[in-house]
Structure 1
Amino acid sequence: MNPTPDDELIFKLLGMIEIIGTHEQVPVPPRRQRTVLCALLLEANRVVSMEQLIDVVWEHTPPSTARAQIQICVSALRREFARGGVDAQIETRQPGYLLRVAADKIDVFLFERRVAAADLAVRQGRLEEAATILRSALALWRGPALSAAGPALQSKALRLDEKRLSALENCIEAELSLGHHHALIGELQSAVTENPLRERLRGQLMLALYRCGRQPEALDVYRAGRELFIERLGLEPSDQLRKLETAILIEDEALRLDQDEPVPVVVQNVVSPHQLPATISDFIGRQDVVARAENVLSGDHMTMHVVNISGKAGIGKSALAVHVAHRVAAETYPDGQLYCDLRGTHAEPATPTEVLGRFLAALGVVGSTLPDSVDERADMYRSMLANRRVLVVLDDAGSESQVHQLLPGSPSCGVIVTSRTRLTGLAGSHLVDVDCMDSGDSRELLARIIGRQRLENEPAAVEALVDVVGGLPLALRIIGARLAARPHWTLASMVGRLADERHRLDELTHGDMVVRASLSLTYDGLEHDARQMMRLMSLLEADSLPVWTASALTDGRGRSFDLVERLVDAQLLDVVGSDITGLPRYRFHDLIRLFAKEQVAEHETPAAQLESVERVAGGWLAMAEQAHRRLYGGDFTLLHGRGKRWQPHARYLDVVLQDPLGWLESEHPNLCAAVVQAADAGLDELCWDLAMTLVTLFETRSCFDDWQHTHERALEAVREAGNKRGTAALLCSLGSLHHSQRRMDASRAALEPALDLFTELDDTQGLALTRRNLGLLEYNEGRPEVALPIFEQSLVEFGRVGDVVGQAHVMSQLAQLSIDRGEHELAIAQLSDALGMCREISSPRVEAQVLHRLGGAMLVQGRYEQAQQLITSVLAMVQRAGDTVGESYALHSLGLIHGRMRMFSEAGRLLRRAIRLCEENLDRVGAARIQLDLAQLVSRRGDTFHAIAIVEQAMMTFQALRLTFWESKALAVMEKITADNWLSAAGTSNGGAG
């Protein structure tokens, strides 16, 4: 070997970080840039993803600007390289960056190359050369590795420091074998002082002292070490060190140097093992994953390439690993392939000692020459693979510790590791996550197993089969194998067998392929608390689970977040995004959830299950309640029950509820599911309370189907429990829903029994809410004189219970009655009172509604400019809040105002926008009412034919919904347009005659 001169180095990481340019020594960049630089250098000539760089710089709490800050760091490094004449380039490569530089220009890689060369020299018996090379490798060190590189790189720095110590020990071992014991004592004494728990160094010092005739000092070194081991570790020294002490005591002849050179390790033959299992013939899909793995394993061999294939049970990791291994073996790794199933998910996983023994035997090491200790076996293994191109496949690894000693040291070797956990502790490894198959690949796999014709005969059944197992390859293979073995079965019959969730896992078994058994291996490998967390999380019916639900399941006991992340690491739970706080959200694969629910039935009592579900439902209610309060300024216009609340952390609530309506919308599926699950569990108070609280969302977003579904399911639960107040509350809310959809008969059928129940219960707030809704019903059916006393009584009742928002809302309705009677000043006074109430308790949503009605009063008075300013401000308010229903009302009013101001083009644009928004909100009646105003505007512009067509369209809506009041209004508009057209035509005719 011709070592690269140290003065030709460009990047020095083995000590204080230094960068050497052709012009001058480049200043060490600031901390963040320095961390990015080190991360790129340690993976030199390989792509480092943006996500990896973000993790290195900020670990678990990156800011929202993290990507931009990394880009700034890279740009600054490029400028420094150019300024200092640094012979290296940072290239942008998806999904991150690649630092291109000759590997021998980085001291870390030069060190590792010299160590590998020394190992080869030892193996070939060239001890003098090995010692010289190791001394040159150690001379590269100027202090602890990656000094001042930041805490995120400490684990990498510690591994480098460990390699330095191992190199030092190997160097001293060679020099002791050469008889240099006199010269080594001072260095060994310093090394033992710095590393007092390092047994190999202590043993080397003992041997050197003994060979120098200083037997008592050698024994003192042992006794001092023994006392230290017992004091710090509570352990005796190893057998090897105790045997050395005994040998020194009895002056064993084996300790003396009787020959000039030791006999090197003997191997029977240098063989090329070929241990890969056969690849499966029907391997399909995964093209992107295969390509990524191949690119890593076939890249420039400046460092050893490690691919960590990770995925859940049954996802096809082993098949993928073997497939990739066969594709790269012949060309890239001609010196052989080693394979071992590490059984990491089994009760008795393979030990590194056992695996190294198998690998060394495959490489030609015979009986007595095979070392006993795992460290010696690892040393021999790495030495034998030095400068050889061998691919090592380690299947089903349980942890990093099971793998570390099985990694070759040579950059010419490659490694594929499969694991159900992400082995992020493997330095320099490339993580390849394997997900479920998409529908196309799933169908193709089934076609190859059972024949394409059977799939083409039953396309609907094929889709159902793929969907029911969620694209899990193991499950698909089992289904295919069962169908192939039974050609008389239809695919639809298989769908039927899998339809019952309770027996689905029973059906997914064929020969040695068993989904339940595969999942059990991972589940059984978890600690007790993680298994319990998995069971409890499977109870929840949810679209995706935020972190706080895990804490609620265990009532805040223990380390819920860590347990959930343990399930993610074990590929039993998927991360499917994050919430507004940046915390992750989780979801089960359907089959894994079924497995977990089976474990629930076996290990959790019904009482414990109910308590867990109750706490989570109580958490959803507590958060929805807080969201309503922030929108309305308090618990106004809302009835609450006696269900138990579970409060998430206050700081978490403050963050997620900064936009309360936005949070309600983001958690919409989960909140609806919580109502249904609470009802199914018999938690009647929780389910009706949560359903009522969600009306804030349902109204604003026109979620009429969810409004009806949650309320009807909750109504079944409260009626079954004999809960009169819950029944009355839900009927009142359903009456409001039916009114919103202009189903007036259904609205009355719900509101009148609600009124009777609240009267029986003497519930003043319930009576106020119900009467308000009845008043609206009477008004919109064209009976304002009936609505007036109902509104007035409701106003009094809201006042009795201190519901300020309820009072403001009813006062606004009374103002509308005043406007209809032409009592404009009274209406404005009433609206001013309502506005004051809203502002007193900060209720922005109702304030916007009152302001909108005030703008309408000004419009009627002919105060167009004031009305325009007011409604424009209302439009901004509702748009900020994301209130699309309020936005449609504001646009409608602005269209009318612009029409009165003879700004016809803008008026038409606004009215059409309002109609589109109503249609998006499924508000057919709202759209039809605006169409009547649009028709009159179009008529005024002379397009009578188009105007009549618009009225007819609105008329069809009113007739379909049996809204006779509005149907009569549409007829009046039609008659007016026709009359105006006749007069216009007559005027033109007369003018012509004159």
Structure 2
Amino acid sequence: MDGPTGTVRIPPGRQEIILACLLMEAGRVIGTSRLLDLIWPDEAPDTARTQIQICVSRLRKSFAEAGLTVSVVSRAPGYLLRTGDETVDLQVFNRQVMASRVLVKEGRDAEAAEMLRAAVALWRGPCLSGIPNETMRSWGVRLDEDRLAAIETYLGLELGLGRSHDLVGEISRQVHENPLRERLRGQLMLALHRSGRQAEALDVYRAGRQLLADELGLEPGEELRQLERAILAGDPALLAPTARPTVTEVAARSGDPQPPPDRNRAAAPQPVEPATPGYGEERPRQLPADTADFVANEPVLRTVEAALLGDDGQRALGLVVIAGKPGVGKSALATHVAHRIGRTRFPDGQLYCDLRGVGADPVSPQDALGRFLRALGIPGPMIPDDIDERAEMYRTLLASRQLLVVLDDAANEAQISPLLPGSSSCAVVVTSRSRLAGLPGAMRIELEVLDRTQALELLSRVIGEARVAREPAAADALVRTVGGLPLALRIVAARLAARPHWTLASMGHRLASERHRLDELAHGEMTMRASLSLTHDGLSNAEQRLLRLFSLADGPTVPGWTAGALLDDDSPFPSDLVEPLVDVQMLDAVAVERTGEFRYRFHEVIRLFAREQLALHDSPAVQLAATERMIGGWVALAEQAHARVYGGDFTVLHGSGRRWQPPAAYAESVLSEPIDWLDSEQPNLCLAVDQAARAGLHELCWDLATTLVTLFEARGYFDQWEYTHRRALEATRAAQNRRGTAAVLGSLGTMHLSRQQPDEARRSLGLALKIFEELDDRHGLALCRRDLALLERQVGAEDVALALYEQAIRDFEAVGDVVGRAGVLTQSSYIWMRRGSTALAHDQLEEALAVFREVGYTHGEAHALRRAGQVLLRRGEHAEAERVLLRVLDNVRRNRDLIGEGHLLRNLGEVHEAGKRYDQAQEAYRQALAVREKIIDVGGVAVVRLDLARVLLRSGRAAEAGALLDQARESFRDRGMRPEQEQADLLARELAGPSVRP
């Protein structure tokens, strides 16, 4: 180690082993018993614990003398190494690898490749090579394997970016150093082939085949064989993509000096920029991570791939159903296959949904379609309510794409059918405990347990080949005992990996005894219960308690702070509490947040086991208290997220439910982008509302539901808005909670307004207003009157609307809600603008803008600026209107707000049209039309077609105008858009008269 005063020398032996272990697990507690097992694997002396303490004391002294900003902290049941975020290369490497996966899912392959290169550059040789300890050596081998995997990943990404020629030398060197790595050999073959060196590519294959035969007596894997066949056949799928610049190259180019502006040139209106590339054309990458120790059954893999890919594309939809009992590896197989073929054969993306078919709350087809449509680039407000319309939009978007869909843990055919694409260019993998015989045309795979060879390979990957080789008979017996069930084998293997001094024979005896105790169970269930019970009984009391309580968290993946809430432990590093459960595979660590904290997930079988233990050992009162703290943590974070969006606790009501505060540093980090955090945690937050309703925590329930409108409104999550509020309404009414009931009804009224359901909106808002009047709740009254005013404005009752706006302003002033008041000023300015009182409208908007800017509410500022641009247009100040609208357009494009972009482009068209700049008006309208078409906004498309037809007619292009007008009129008739239809009929009559010239 290096410190400010030079290199810190750590003597070999016990200190070196302890330091290495602490560094490997920096930030986590290492139990003293684990250190004892590492240093004395056979039998520790009586003075062992004292010797450990002496070693730790000497390490602390060495650190202090060298001026290192690290410390070894005593924390039960052992020690913890505190370091800075960038101090330990292994932690930096792991964070960068995890971050690269996120970049890949976002389609940012070039950035991901550069990040992985930086991560690999941290290596300075074989890991832990200088420590004479068998366990350390096995750790080092695993870490070096992680490095090689990262190299293979960035090479694969860069091959996909079209850089084959530049990579040949580097991949050749890697193949020379790692001649048995088939993935590297395949990458070298591909790079050579794409560089026009087919003969050399085939030589590389033949050399690898000979080496495998000589060294291992094996043939190359199917993937390598397929690549050889493709090269021989000249498969066009192997053609190199066009090379794309690296992030560094792009940054360098953007730094080129620009010519100075011509200050003598008169300012001209800026041209409308084209929409951001890729809008509405997203390539989702939703697959979960591949299983690192996945053991392939090659015949099954080939069968699944052949069914998905078909014969040269001459097939119907590729549909595979993978069925089997719990723990047999259905999800792992589906994910592995999807990763193998997803990138190359389905380049337009991969969709994934855990349908939770065996859970108490399976995902509905309607909800799954909503998720998929958003992932494909459709904004929330554009997603129809009707499931048939959603399915039609989904099939339309997939009709021209090559896309793979993975539907995990399906309950039945009815849950699956609406999610099937209609195009043979796509394929679907389904996993289920049942065979789903009602799905026509599906290839069904009944997944069996691992055979002996596969099971031993999996065991070797987890605990190391050397341990398996030392006890071959015991390894065979252990595999037979778990019945070849992958999940059970992984759990048992994890227990062995955590206890390197245990023999495989001793583990086999323990497991056989546990199975005998549970012999009343069916064989498959007995295998799992025995494995789980054995591992559970080996945990400490505190770890067993956390496992039980953690099963209360319903979400698909759960952040580490929930462990602190469930245990009422305010530790700043709550993930430390969870890691012992990860070590024995009772929980999976599946992602890393920007804070460096992990996210966790239960296998459903283990969750059910943990809940059984919960019912046996924890009273309903204990469970309720833990649930209340956990939901209180979600409420606290959601409340802070709302305040960051709105610049304070404005335009929202809160209840008296008890909060539980997650670590402040965690909250500060994850809430730096509050809407993004709300979006990423949306499944957990909605499940928390449901769980609060079931538990009778009505104050937390309605509070969380209404606070989440911050997300629902911003992203158009109307399904989630309605579901959470219906559940909250049931809870508040059952508890006779009148204020909570009114708050939920008022928020439902806002939702109905957004959905253009005026009758439902009036009914909900009227009920809420009555209760708030009885309670004399000024804040609730302000929110209801604001929305009722908007409702009256929409039906043309502008005087009634203005009166309600005035009352709402007084109510907001009374409770100090400055943002609520500014929002009312923005809304009422529209009426004054329509009435010609542009000066009053302008003054109201200036006052609102000042408030929004002061508190930092950017969405309110953008809305008010757009209104200001419309006011300027009404006043004939075309150049200033264009300047303001262009500024807002730039903002909505940065936020990828497609709906806002469509509105702004249309407004700019109106500005150009009013100034008789018909060419520019056409361009703006055409861009608005393109945006609307991308998001399949049929009504919006028709409105812009009417605008464009009008401008074309003014430009003397009557024939083109007539064609657009016919399309618009048909849409208006089909959708019952009467005011727009009347405008179109007027223009049609004008078109039928004498030709019009500008």
Please indicate the TM-score interval, normalised by the length of the shorter structure. Answer: 0.5 to 0.7
* Offset at residue 750 of structure 1 (A): 0.6
Normalising by structure 1, we get a TM-score of 0.52
* Offset at residue 586 of structure 1 (A): 1.4
Query: Partner letter of residue 855 of structure 1?
Result: G
Specify the alignment match of 1:39 in structure 2. Answer: 127
1:48-101 per-position Cα deviation (integer Å, ceiling 9, x unaligned): 9998259899x9xxxx9xx99xxxxxx9xx99xx9xxxxx96889677899xxx
Query: Partner letter of residue 945 of structure 1?
Result: G
Query: Partner letter of residue 523 of structure 1?
Result: H
Residues 737, 611 of structure 1: alpha-carbon distance in 2 compared, 3 angstrom cutoff: same
Specify the alignment match of 2:548 in structure 1. Answer: 535
Specify the alignment match of 2:472 in structure 1. Answer: 338
Correspondent of 1:662 among 650, 654, 676: 676
* Offset at residue 579 of structure 1 (A): 2.3
1:171-196 per-position Cα deviation (integer Å, ceiling 9, x unaligned): xxxxxxxxxxxxxxxxxxxxxxxxxx
Written as runs of structure 1 = structure 2, the 5 A alignment for 1:631-646 is 631-646=645-660
CA contact (8 A) 1:754 1:770 kept: yes
Specify the alignment match of 1:440 in structure 2. Answer: none
Query: Partner letter of residue 52 of structure 1?
Result: L
* Offset at residue 774 of structure 1 (A): 0.4
* Offset at residue 743 of structure 1 (A): 0.8
Matched, 1:836 2:850: yes
Specify the alignment match of 2:866 in structure 1. Answer: 852
Residues 327, 702 of structure 1: alpha-carbon distance in 2 compared, 3 angstrom cutoff: closer
* Offset at residue 37 of structure 1 (A): 1.7
1:289-317 per-position Cα deviation (integer Å, ceiling 9, x unaligned): xxxxxxxxxxxxxxxxxxxxxxx976699
Residues 834, 338 of structure 1: alpha-carbon distance in 2 compared, 3 angstrom cutoff: closer
Matched, 1:52 2:143: yes
1:731-771 per-position Cα deviation (integer Å, ceiling 9, x unaligned): 11111111111111111011111111110010101111100
CA contact (8 A) 1:343 1:396 kept: no
* Offset at residue 690 of structure 1 (A): 0.9
Correspondent of 1:981 among 991, 994, 998: 991
Percent identity for Structure 1 against Structure 2 = 40
CA contact (8 A) 1:816 1:827 kept: yes
Query: Partner letter of residue 527 of structure 1?
Result: S
Specify the alignment match of 1:222 in structure 2. Answer: none
Q: Secondary structure at the match of 1:984?
A: coil
CA contact (8 A) 1:640 1:689 kept: yes
1:764-817 per-position Cα deviation (integer Å, ceiling 9, x unaligned): 011111000000001111221221111111111111111111111111112111
CA contact (8 A) 1:342 1:396 kept: no
Q: Secondary structure at the match of 2:568?
A: coil
CA contact (8 A) 1:554 1:560 kept: no
Normalising by structure 2, we get a TM-score of 0.52
CA contact (8 A) 1:691 1:711 kept: yes
CA contact (8 A) 2:945 2:964 kept: no
1:591-621 per-position Cα deviation (integer Å, ceiling 9, x unaligned): 2211111111111111111111111211111
Correspondent of 2:576 among 541, 562, 576: 562
CA distance in 2, matches of 1:981, 1:570: 76
Residues 41, 744 of structure 1: alpha-carbon distance in 2 compared, 3 angstrom cutoff: same
What is the total number of aligned residue pairs between the two structures? 592
CA distance in 2, matches of 1:646, 1:875: 40
Q: Secondary structure at the match of 1:36?
A: coil
Specify the alignment match of 2:709 in structure 1. Answer: 695
CA distance in 2, matches of 1:729, 1:881: 30
Query: Partner letter of residue 714 of structure 1?
Result: A
Q: CA RMSD in A?
A: 5.2
1:663-689 per-position Cα deviation (integer Å, ceiling 9, x unaligned): 111111111111111111111111111
CA distance in 1, matches of 2:948, 2:122: 65
Question: Quick check: which has more Rg, 1 or 2?
Answer: 1
Matched, 1:951 2:968: yes
Specify the alignment match of 1:517 in structure 2. Answer: 530
* Offset at residue 695 of structure 1 (A): 0.8
CA contact (8 A) 1:47 1:97 kept: no
CA distance in 2, matches of 1:50, 1:882: 44
Query: Partner letter of residue 743 of structure 1?
Result: Q
Written as runs of structure 1 = structure 2, the 5 A alignment for 1:317-716 is 319=450, 322-323=453-454, 338-341=472-475, 398-400=495-497, 403=500, 509-510=522-523, 513-556=526-569, 560-716=574-730
Residues 841, 828 of structure 1: alpha-carbon distance in 2 compared, 3 angstrom cutoff: same
CA distance in 2, matches of 1:606, 1:768: 40
CA distance in 1, matches of 2:949, 2:866: 23
Range moving further from structure 2, 660-669 or 764-773: 660-669
CA distance in 2, matches of 1:944, 1:923: 21
* Offset at residue 338 of structure 1 (A): 3.2
Residues 892, 858 of structure 1: alpha-carbon distance in 2 compared, 3 angstrom cutoff: same
Residues 717, 585 of structure 1: alpha-carbon distance in 2 compared, 3 angstrom cutoff: same
Specify the alignment match of 2:982 in structure 1. Answer: 972
CA distance in 1, matches of 2:832, 2:458: 83
Specify the alignment match of 2:882 in structure 1. Answer: 868
Query: Partner letter of residue 550 of structure 2?
Result: M
Residues 56, 419 of structure 1: alpha-carbon distance in 2 compared, 3 angstrom cutoff: farther
CA contact (8 A) 1:835 1:847 kept: yes
* Offset at residue 897 of structure 1 (A): 2.8
Residues 645, 47 of structure 1: alpha-carbon distance in 2 compared, 3 angstrom cutoff: closer
Specify the alignment match of 1:763 in structure 2. Answer: 777
* Offset at residue 652 of structure 1 (A): 1.0
1:315-355 per-position Cα deviation (integer Å, ceiling 9, x unaligned): 699945544769999xx99x9983215999999xxxxxxxx
Query: Partner letter of residue 473 of structure 2?
Result: Y
Specify the alignment match of 1:791 in structure 2. Answer: 805
* Offset at residue 691 of structure 1 (A): 0.9
CA distance in 2, matches of 1:327, 1:772: 63
Q: Secondary structure at the match of 1:575?
A: strand
* Offset at residue 840 of structure 1 (A): 2.2
CA distance in 2, matches of 1:527, 1:601: 19
CA contact (8 A) 2:865 2:884 kept: yes
CA contact (8 A) 2:594 2:670 kept: yes
CA contact (8 A) 2:805 2:828 kept: yes
* Offset at residue 834 of structure 1 (A): 1.0
**Greater relative contact order: 1 or 2 (C-alpha under 8 angstroms, separation 6 or more)?**
2
Query: Partner letter of residue 125 of structure 2?
Result: L
Q: Give the unaligned 5+ runs of structure 2.
A: 1-10, 17-118, 132-136, 159-165, 187-294, 304-325, 330-446, 482-489, 512-517
Range moving further from structure 2, 622-631 or 875-884: 875-884
CA contact (8 A) 1:889 1:914 kept: yes
1:608-645 per-position Cα deviation (integer Å, ceiling 9, x unaligned): 11111111211111111111111111111111111111
Q: Secondary structure at the match of 1:812?
A: helix
Query: Partner letter of residue 881 of structure 2?
Result: A
Residues 752, 923 of structure 1: alpha-carbon distance in 2 compared, 3 angstrom cutoff: farther
CA contact (8 A) 1:738 1:747 kept: yes
Specify the alignment match of 1:740 in structure 2. Answer: 754
Query: Partner letter of residue 982 of structure 1?
Result: A
Specify the alignment match of 1:388 in structure 2. Answer: none
Q: Secondary structure at the match of 2:599?
A: strand
CA distance in 2, matches of 1:834, 1:420: 71
